Amino acid sequence: MSLMDRSEPIPSDWDRRGLPAWTYQSAALFALEREHLFLTHWQVAGHANDIPNPGDWISFDLLGERALVVRGQDGQPRAFMNLCRHRGARVVDGVSGSCRGALVCPFHGWVYNLDGSLRGAARPETFGPGFDKAKFGLKPVELQVFGGFLFLRFRPGPQPDVAALLAPYAADFVSNRAETLLPAQACSWTTELPVNWKSVRDVDNEGYHVPLAHPALQDLYGRDYRDIYLPDGLHVSYGFFGDRAGRRWSVQRYVKHAPEQPHLPPHLRRTWAYYGLFPNTVFAFTPEGAQYYHDLPVDPGCTKLTGRQYRYPNESRQMRLARYLAARIDRETSAEDQQLSIWSNESMRSEGFEGFHLSDLEWGLRRHHDQLRHLLPVMRQDLAPPEGEMAQRNDELICQSK
Ligand code: FES
Ligand SMILES: [Fe+2]
């Protein structure tokens, strides 16, 4: 059965207001989101092919926590805190890199093996008798691989293993040969927006805005766009293109050059497909490449948007051209979405704002908000509790629901 036949029905009558405005501004709630959402849920850090050789590493920072993923001498990728056990310096600095056989802390030169164990401290005799280097390895971070992508989480949480969680996506990821993806040139990008992270998600979680806000996407696939709602908060969107030539320069050329991929099943052959992972990540596959993007909160009013782009091995000139054109369309779309996120977030500071009034086509927002309300029931309150009582109020509501 294809994912399209598995979409949950939308009830006819539902509370269309969305989360109250205070949840987009409260520092105390943001602290709860850090604890109960971001550090305890799976985050994508890259792809196994970002670190093809022993000693290759990528880093991942989130809300004061720092991780690195490094490929070991045995070929296994492992994740650790990017935090030297001597005085906490970053063991690796930057987005990605490569080391020869060992990670050397830039502060005082402690040397770690690629399996995280401490090979040696500089001047070990100065640490007194009985310095036991076995106790000072890098702290491990949970890491799992799905479709070639590397997922980590800083603390145990409510989600199951990634393979179980994303099982409904497995067939599409296999069809798209996700494991074979290679990083595109200059594959990672980052930008910061002055908005709460939920405002970014709210814009991205629905297709109702596509016809007006995204002229290029509308031109490409606006006539046949489907949102598919699956259990466990999974959300897939398919945009089917190719039924007509396209009016805009980049769309016309993209439709012309997008490669026919005979190995893809019909529902992915002329499709831009998006796969959501709660709370803040989306994977996107097109016939010529793939990417993921996620919103990484910085503070209640600032969010880092970042992602990585991938290509297929043995890429033809035609595929490279199609990927270039797709990226152009994406850049345009992303700039449009960023503006919409800013307006939406700004409005919540206005006394004139009375909450959302959502269409059935925005059911994706409601599901995202429902999951947030489930994990942090204090978000159900229309009025903001005092900041100093936020955590306690949330705990009480969790207890009451048990
Ligand atoms: S902080 Fe790493 S060696 Fe001192
Ligand atoms: Fe959008």
Tens of pLDDT along 48-92? 999 999 999 999 999 999 999 999 999 999 999 999 999 999 999
Question: Separation of 47 CA from ligand 1 center, angstroms?
Answer: 28
Instruction: Give the Cα separation of 145 and 46 in Å (integer).
Output: 10
Q: What is the mean pLDDT of the chain?
A: 96
Instruction: Give the Cα separation of 250 and 394 in Å (integer).
Output: 49
Confidence of residue 402 (pLDDT cuts 50, 70, 90): confident
Please tell me whether residue 100 adopts helix, strand or coil conformation. Answer: coil
Please tell me whether residue 45 adopts helix, strand or coil conformation. Answer: strand
In the chain, what are the helix, strand and coil shares in percent, each to the nearest 5? 35, 25, 35
Of 84, 112, 119, 126, the one to substitute when testing ligand 1's pocket (max ligand atoms within 8 A of C-beta) is 84
Q: Which of 184, 187, 192, 196 is nearest to 307 (CA)?
A: 187
Query: For residue 126, which ligand has an atom nearest its CA?
Result: 1
Q: What confidence tens digit (pLDDT) does each residue in 318-377 have?
A: 999 999 999 999 999 999 999 999 999 999 999 999 999 999 999 999 999 999 999 999
Strands in 210-259 per DSSP E: 225-229, 235-240
Confidence of residue 401 (pLDDT cuts 50, 70, 90): confident
Query: For residue 83, which ligand has an atom nearest its CA?
Result: 1
Confidence of residue 7 (pLDDT cuts 50, 70, 90): confident
- The position carrying tokens 């995204």 is 214
Give me the percent of the chain exceeding a pLDDT of 90. Answer: 93
Instruction: Give the Cα separation of 248 and 290 in Å (integer).
Output: 22
Q: What is the DSSP letter of 7?
A: P
| Partners of 307 in beta bridges | 189, 293
Instruction: Give the Cα separation of 27 and 33 in Å (integer).
Output: 10
Count CA atoms closer than 13 A to 243's CA, side-chain side. 12
Confidence of residue 1 (pLDDT cuts 50, 70, 90): low
Instruction: Give the Cα separation of 202 and 340 in Å (integer).
Output: 10
Amino acid at 88: G
Query: For residue 203, which ligand has an atom nearest its CA?
Result: 2
Question: Separation of 340 CA from ligand 2 center, angstroms?
Answer: 8
Q: What is the DSSP letter of 204?
A: H
Give me the percent of the chain exceeding a pLDDT of 70. Answer: 100
Which pLDDT belongs to residue 6?
A: 85
Q: Which of 132, 135, 139, 169 is nearest to 154 (CA)?
A: 139
Residue 187's φ and ψ, nearest 5 degrees, are: -75, -20
* Contact assessment for residue 159 and residue 152, using Cβ atoms and an 8 Å cutoff: no
Please tell me whether residue 276 adopts helix, strand or coil conformation. Answer: strand
Ligand 1: residue whose CA is nearest its atom 1: 87
Q: What confidence tens digit (pLDDT) does each residue in 173-230 have?
A: 999 999 999 999 878 889 999 999 999 999 999 999 999 999 999 999 999 999 999 9
Instruction: Give the Cα separation of 95 and 167 in Å (integer).
Output: 29
Please tell me whether residue 51 adopts helix, strand or coil conformation. Answer: coil
Sheet holding 182-193, edge to edge: 182-193, 302-311, 289-299, 281-286, 271-277, 235-240, 225-229
Question: Separation of 108 CA from ligand 1 center, angstroms?
Answer: 5
Query: For residue 333, which ligand has an atom nearest its CA?
Result: 2
- The position carrying tokens 């001498």 is 73
Which pLDDT belongs to residue 372?
A: 97
Which pLDDT belongs to residue 188?
A: 86
Ligand 1: residue whose CA is nearest its atom 4: 108
Ligand 1: residue whose CA is nearest its atom 3: 108
Instruction: Give the Cα separation of 292 and 373 in Å (integer).
Output: 25
- pLDDT at residue 2 is higher than 80: no
Question: Separation of 258 CA from ligand 2 center, angstroms?
Answer: 22
Instruction: Give the Cα separation of 16 and 140 in Å (integer).
Output: 43
Question: Separation of 81 CA from ligand 1 center, angstroms?
Answer: 14
- pLDDT at residue 395 is higher than 90: yes
Whole-Å CA distances, 158 to 41, 155, 165, 391: 7, 10, 11, 19
Q: What count of other Cβ atoms lies within 10 Å of the Cβ of residue 219?
A: 21
What the chain holds in terms of domains, given with CATH numbers, is: 1-40+180-402 (3.90.380.10), 42-156 (2.102.10.10)
Q: What confidence tens digit (pLDDT) does each residue in 18-27 have?
A: 999 999 999 9
User: Which stretch of DSSP H or E encloses residue 142?
Assistant: strand 140-146
Minimum-distance ligand 1 atom for the alpha carbon of 105: 2
Ligand 1 binding pocket, CB closer than 6 Å: 84, 86-87, 89, 105, 107-110
Q: What confidence tens digit (pLDDT) does each residue in 27-50 have?
A: 999 999 999 999 999 999 999 999
Minimum-distance ligand 1 atom for the alpha carbon of 87: 1
